[in-house]
Amino acid sequence: MRTGGAAVVKNEADIIEAFVRHNLGYLDELHVVDNGSTDGTWEILQALAAEAPRLRVGQDFRTDHPQEHLMSALLAEWPEPRPDWVFCLDADEFISAGSRAAFDAAVGSWSGAECVTLWWDFFVPTAADDAAEPNPIRRITRRRADQPADGMLTKVVVPKRFLGQPELRVRAGNHFLSQRNGVVLPHPIVSEPRLAHFPIRSSDQVAKKAVVGAWAVSSRATRDPNEASHWEDLKDRVLSGEVLTEAELADLAYNYAASDRLPRVEPADFVLAEAPLATSVEDLTAIVGSSPRGFLADAVGFADAHFRNLRRVAVHTEEVEVLKARRGLVAVTRATPAEQAQALRQAADWQRGEIDFCVDAVVGGDTVWDLGAGIGYQTVAFARRVGAAGAVVAAEADADLRQDLAANLTLNGLRNVAIVGSTAEALARLQPGSPRPSRWRRKKLDSGEAAQHPAAPPSLVRIGGGGFPVLTQLSDEVLTAGPTVFLSGAGQCRPVALMDWADAHDYGWYWYFSAGSPGSEDPRVALVGVPGDRPPPPGLQRLDPADSDWRAAFARQERKPNTVGDRWAFSRHGLEERWH
């Protein structure tokens, strides 16, 4: 039998080392995600991971208390071989079983058919604690003798059969597991082992937790109105300048679970038991220089992280991120291709060179066909460029991507885009006798004039998915109008087939290279097709039938180092370098 643990932590420098060392005394592996800590927690985790291969650590910088999302992702993406059980823990929770043998015996008795939940033991700081002891679990040795019995005062342990299931969710607080629709999975409570809980440890720790916790929950796009209400109350007191006394800390810890179901206990009625947590680890704080920072430093650190996050993220929920990108707002969901999602998160842009080229090829009033539009990042750019007087037809075969495309258009307030499911549907929109782009290209049209051309042939056809087969679907009615054709992802196309197509339709092909994926030695490869009676695009090389593929042309392409992060930079459209 193998056991694992999962935790999402933030600003827990005073206890994180003890948490890792103690719980690894029971667990075979432990996965911890640090949620943008500013107090040294991440540095401690890195040092621990360097000495303990059974500890895996990662980072997430969202500021909206994303515990539920991150814990669910940890379980859904747990690598093989998966453990038989995963304990969902917080940094202030310590497995309490007396010994590894007793722990193994207790866990080994579970069936594995359903989740189980473990009781909390609430530890309470008192004036009798040894103030010279830096380790909270050695310093705080008294716990409630009358442990409250309530189903919400438990933590879930997940069996192997529920790992790797993205449709399941760990709910807020790690109390239970549910389906995506909110239906909770059965989770009987077991008597052993238990979890020693140290939520209140010092006045400074409570102040940081209250202020940063309240801010984080408040910044979420969705939340229960009563969620973290205890943090809100404490935050107001801390920000008013109050310092919590030892008696108040004891009261907070003893009544940590107080609710409508569990009324608070008055201090005169406290019943405490001397019961130090048993641990097999002698040195729980071996890392030197890990003393936590003060309240002010952590509060300012959170505020700084939050405002840095606001530079790129408008909204973040479990299902969708709305990012602030170069071309506008863009929704990233599970359907978004991973490479594109990563680029938008890190660089706030996607295929910059290609989209700039295409946007520069059209003006207000034009019609653009975006075939293989995906989530519509470039569609947004086209729609803005052609304006209310123009139109964009965006074709996307994937239903999920088509839904995201519609969402991104709505986010940016764009109404001049028709979404279709295929190139055939785009062709069906053409009406016999529709005016050709040459009659109104390069003109500024008002919205009244645009209404007269709802199905005009395109001035630009961008093919972003499907490649050469999509190109062959374009009808003579489209091509005789003379649109510029931009074939993205052309690295796999056969030059011979492209030349045959160009000869049949009196077109010329020109290579367009731009920066490739991060870490790739190859550029992005595209082809620009223009009618034979037009001048070639400045600065681009014509497709040579003698070339076996794009590499020969790329070797001839004059390029220079780019100082803004791209691997190569090219003179766009023949623009003089001094105007870049």
Q: What is the DSSP string of 426-479?
A: HHHT--TTPPPHHHHTT----HHHHTT-TTPPPSEEEE-SS-HHHHTT--HHHH
Q: What integer pLDDT is reported at residue 435 of this predicted model?
A: 46
Fold type of domain 3-202+261-292: Spore Coat Polysaccharide Biosynthesis Protein SpsA; Chain A (3.90.550)
Helix%, strand%, coil% for the chain, nearest 5: 35, 20, 45
Q: What integer pLDDT is reported at residue 163 of this predicted model?
A: 96
State how far the Cα of 202 lies from the Cα of 135, in Å rounded to an integer: 11
Considering the chain, tell me which residue range(s) the CATH 3.90.550 domain(s) occupy: 3-202+261-292
Angle at 233 between CA 229 and CA 238, to 5 degrees: 140
Considering the chain, tell me which residue range(s) the CATH 3.40.50.150 domain(s) occupy: 350-579
Fold type of domain 350-579: Rossmann fold (3.40.50)
Q: Quick one: angle between helices 203-218 and 246-254, nearest 10? A: 50
State how far the Cα of 537 lies from the Cα of 134, in Å rounded to an integer: 70
> Whole-structure pTM over 0.75, yes or no?
no
Q: What integer pLDDT is reported at residue 450 of this predicted model?
A: 37
Q: What is the DSSP string of 249-306?
A: HHHHHHTTT-SSSS----GGG--EEE-PPP-S-S-S---TT-PPPPHHHHHHHHHHHH
User: Backbone dihedral region of 90: left (phi > 0), alpha (psi from -120 to 50 degrees) or beta?
Assistant: beta
Helix/strand number for the chain, H first, E second = 20, 22
Q: What integer pLDDT is reported at residue 546 of this predicted model?
A: 76
Q: What integer pLDDT is reported at residue 378 of this predicted model?
A: 95
Angle at 38 between CA 37 and CA 40, to 5 degrees: 85
Could you list the mean pLDDT of each consecutive 10-residue stretch along the chain, which spans 580 residues?
96 93 96 90 94 94 79 94 97 95 96 94 93 90 86 90 92 87 87 95 84 71 58 77 86 81 86 90 61 61 64 68 87 90 86 90 92 95 92 94 94 93 86 45 36 67 87 88 90 82 92 74 86 87 78 64 35 33
